[in-house]
Structure 1
Amino acid sequence: MSNCDGKTLAPMSISNDLYNDLVYYFKYASSAYTMPCLRPNGNHLVIEISNPLTDIQCFVARDDHRKEVVVAIRGSASVTDIVMDAQIALVPFISPGVKLPSGARVHSGFLLSWDSVAMQIVTIVGRELARYPNHSVVTTGHSLGGSLAILGAVTLQQNFETTSIRTYSYGAPRVGNKIFADYVNATFGDKAHRVVHGNDGVPTMIPTQFGYHHHGVEYWQYTHPPSEETTAKCNSEGEDLTCSASIPSQGVNLAHMRYFGILATTPFCF
């Protein structure tokens, strides 16, 4: 890794426990491509949710060992999804129960996709938290699903203010502008995990010149083999030019479709 002055920097590797968590929640994200997924990551399937107009598919699962309610959202898998991906105008974040700082803007296609399932997810998660008040909430997704996972985390945090909420995205594009990114960073801090594999071009496909800004914290698996020693924790501000943003976008490529040696559509449903 090197900084913008060309000086080599020692990457800040992560702990084994954190690395294992990044892999674990990727398995939920990967499983969201398979419906039905009867036992996501070996846990209890609460409900599967889909919207035929936006073609968004997701599930809510419950892990009573970790005491978590997990929302996993599928990435792009159809022409409809690609059309949503292309709607890059920045718009106010209008969603059930959400009130963000003035000037916060998000990707209009991602917001439309999220809002098509948001009320159902808020209702189901609320029901689960009423039954299991000591459970936390996790949102996760790959690619488009990762972008919706952060919108989901913001929505759920505002609807359930006393609940601990974490979010994990893998290969997700930029979601909103800097005001939105700053809000996410201030609200979630290290509870927002944004994972990038090598030269995956999707996270940088929407350029900052369009007004977009990544939220932190990025975890960049910058070389192989995948391990905690080859995964760097990047600057928490979001746009760390020594991490994946240092590589010009190559769009959807092989690195986008495989994380931690796992094909992004692999089901973990038993």
Structure 2
Amino acid sequence: MRLCSVVGMGYDWKKQYGFIILFLSLAMCAASAEIDRKTAICEYNRTKALNLVEYASAVYTIDDLSLLSWTCSRCKGLTKGFKIHTLIVDVQHCLQAFVGVAENLDAIVIAFRGTQDTSIQNWAEDIYFRELDLHYPGVIDAMVHSGFYAAYHNTTLRERVFDAIQAIRQARSDLGVIITGHSMGGAMATFCALDLSANYGFKNVEVITFGQPRVGNYAFALYYNAYVPLTIRVTHAHDIVPHLPPYYPLLGEKTYHHFATEVWIFRVAVGRLQYEFERVCDGSGEDTSCSRSVTGNSIADHLNYYGVYLKTEDDVMALQNSSNGQTLGLGCKTRSLWERFPAMAQE
């Protein structure tokens, strides 16, 4: 068993919390003796993850003008200087994404907005979509969640994202491509990365998602990792969404199955203090010593990654849903996938 290397940490954990790390290391080693692990396949760059989570947060902004000028309240910090090229808004399906250039990352950054709803009930409803056969080059037995698939493939997002990338690359062919998203935005980032890699021949596409759900079965996970190995899927403590749709071992390869590589942020209590640590999980996608080792029952953990808030501002949402049910700006009233893609829902 080998854990991926972690780079860009920026501080000395061992010096400050040496005794805690020693305790955790012994516990992890004991657990690893009982689990048949695969070698992790992607290096975790913490600095890059901290950059990308800010983009995943900024894409929740409803004010389109502040996004286009990159002056929104979340358009600061590590994303300062980002040049947005295209803002994509699909009002009918309540979807949003942007494409632009991050000079500090030497990359085109694509960010997809996640669901604006935080209802456990709606998430529970959304998992009961039928699985869809994936018809991609060379794929065998891969199936995907039809609702998440439709959110990317059956809307305006796919075409406009590709057009924006091509337009940027005509002037800047040296740039890489990094895709991010939180929650359902992470699911769309997954399909975007695979589409660019498998159907359009893009090389070395990077993906970092936060709190995304499972999107396909085991065959899909293998296929995805073969085409998009530079993928980090960050999970946080008891975040409910990475546990959905549920993983059923008795269904074998037919069950939903995460792809690698997961990085699990978890908390350890020492007396009255709590410390957060990050663990790079194995290459299976379903490491039972990472997020699968705990119950997924927290919305609060879903809305906060690395201390960054990932949701549309409550006061703006309240304004949207007032005034006789009218919506303002880029918001929407339809929240669950059942409402947005009724034809894809399981009957």
> Using the alignment, how far apart are the partners of 2:232 and 2:55 within structure 1?
14
C-alpha contact 1:196 1:220 (8 A) present in aligned 2: yes
3-state secondary structure, aligned to 2:285: coil
> Using the alignment, how far apart are the partners of 1:226 and 1:153 within structure 2?
33
> Using the alignment, how far apart are the partners of 1:130 and 1:175 within structure 2?
32
The structure 2 residue matched to 1:216, chosen from 257, 260, 270, is 260
Instruction: Specify every segment of 5 or more residues in structure 1 that has no aligned partner in the other structure, as ranges.
Output: 11-15
Post-superposition offset of 1:129: 1.7
State the identity as a percent. 27
Is 1:259 the equivalent of 2:305?
yes
Larger radius of gyration between Structure 1 and Structure 2: 2
The structure 2 residue matched to 1:126, chosen from 161, 166, 183, is 166
Give the ranges of 4+ consecutive aligned residues of structure 1 lying more than 3 Å apart after TM superposition: 6-10, 82-87, 224-227
Is 1:242 the equivalent of 2:242?
no
| Inter-CA distance 211–54: structure 2 relative to 1 (3 Å threshold) | same
After superposition, what is the alpha-carbon deviation per residue over 1:178-203, rounded to whole angstroms, capped at 9, x for unaligned? 111001222222x1010001111110
Post-superposition offset of 1:113: 0.6
Is 1:34 the equivalent of 2:61?
yes
What is the TM-score normalised by the length of structure 2? Answer: 0.66
Mapping 1:136-147, distance limit 5 Å: 136-147=176-187
> Using the alignment, how far apart are the partners of 1:93 and 1:51 within structure 2?
24
3-state secondary structure, aligned to 1:101: coil
C-alpha contact 1:85 1:144 (8 A) present in aligned 2: no
C-alpha contact 1:185 1:237 (8 A) present in aligned 2: no
Mapping 1:1-270, distance limit 5 Å: 7-8=30-31, 18-35=45-62, 36=64, 37=67, 38-39=69-70, 40=75, 41-42=79-80, 43-78=82-117, 82=122, 85-93=126-134, 98-99=136-137, 101-115=139-153, 116=155, 117-189=157-229, 191-209=230-248, 211-223=255-267, 230-250=277-297, 253-265=299-311
Q: How many residues are matched?
A: 252
What is the TM-score normalised by the length of structure 1? Answer: 0.84
C-alpha contact 2:116 2:312 (8 A) present in aligned 1: no
Instruction: Specify every segment of 5 or more residues in structure 2 that has no aligned partner in the other structure, as ranges.
Output: 1-23, 34-42, 249-253, 269-273, 314-347
Q: Counterpart amino acid of 1:51? A: D
C-alpha contact 1:234 1:243 (8 A) present in aligned 2: yes
Q: Counterpart amino acid of 1:20? A: T
After superposition, what is the alpha-carbon deviation per residue over 1:65-85, rounded to whole angstroms, capped at 9, x for unaligned? 422111100010159xx5893
